[in-house]
Homo-oligomer: A and B are copies of this chain.
């Protein structure tokens, strides 16, 4: 009863991503201040969180669901720059506007912050500012990793790399088998890997014939032989 009352005022305390997200930079006490500037937001699948070029008024923390980040060219080509999962932070940008669009792939819920307020808090809490800095560095390192994938790798290497990356993030080891539930379509994966959806599909068929992966359903992949798949990534 008291717990429920407390949770109503202080939901951050019981948040599922409390430990693995930006809020991990704050102690329980400071978290209350953080809680006060956060608003819970929920979106259905296929909705736009924000659009490339829009005024970057808000920052978000993913609590639940999968998000797709992308940048589009005027003729409709699209580069997916990343997929976000619970605990990820989103909206960091330069120059006052979002550098990419963010859309929900599944139903999703967020903590939303006014950018201005969050930045003010960062000034007050050095731990928070350092966390933001390290988030920015991590994202940068990830983007640079991905430059290598897009610029240098073959189709097979790209698909192997993407599957293993996704498994690092959302893979589950069931009965000794590494299983990945893919919330995104082949087209999303293709736009992420700089390929066409047909090529992604063909490469996955190839990996299946090689016995490296299996797919009980189209949206679930089992990585049968992770080391062999890693050999195909080109990264050593």
Contacts and interface: CB of A to CB of B under 8 A. Distances in A.
Interface in A79-110: 79, 81, 92-95, 99-100
B235 A141 contact: no
Number of copies: 2
A145 B143 CA distance: 10
A99 B141 contact: yes
A194 interface: yes
A140 B234 contact: no
A151 B79 contact: yes
A147 B143 contact: yes
Given A150-B194, A152-B73, A236-B74, A137 B81 contact: no
A80 B78 CA distance: 22
A92 to B, nearest CB: 6
Interface in A101-126: 123, 126
Contacts of A138: 94
Interface residues of A, number: 42
Nearest to A77: B152
Interface stretch (A18-26, A59-67, A128-136, A178-186): A128-136
A32 interface: no
A175 interface: no
Contacts of A123: 126
B136 A137 contact: yes
Contact of A74 (B126, B144, B235): B235
B147 A146 contact: yes
Nearest to A78: B152
Given A71-B145, A132-B133, A143-B143, 18 more contacts: A71-B144, A71-B148, A73-B234, A78-B152, A79-B147, A92-B137, A93-B137, A95-B141, A99-B140, A99-B145, A129-B129, A133-B136, A140-B140, A147-B150, A151-B191, A151-B193, A151-B194, A152-B194
Interface of A: 71, 73-75, 77-79, 81, 92-95, 99-100, 123, 126, 129, 132-134, 136-141, 143-148, 150-153, 191, 193-194, 234-236
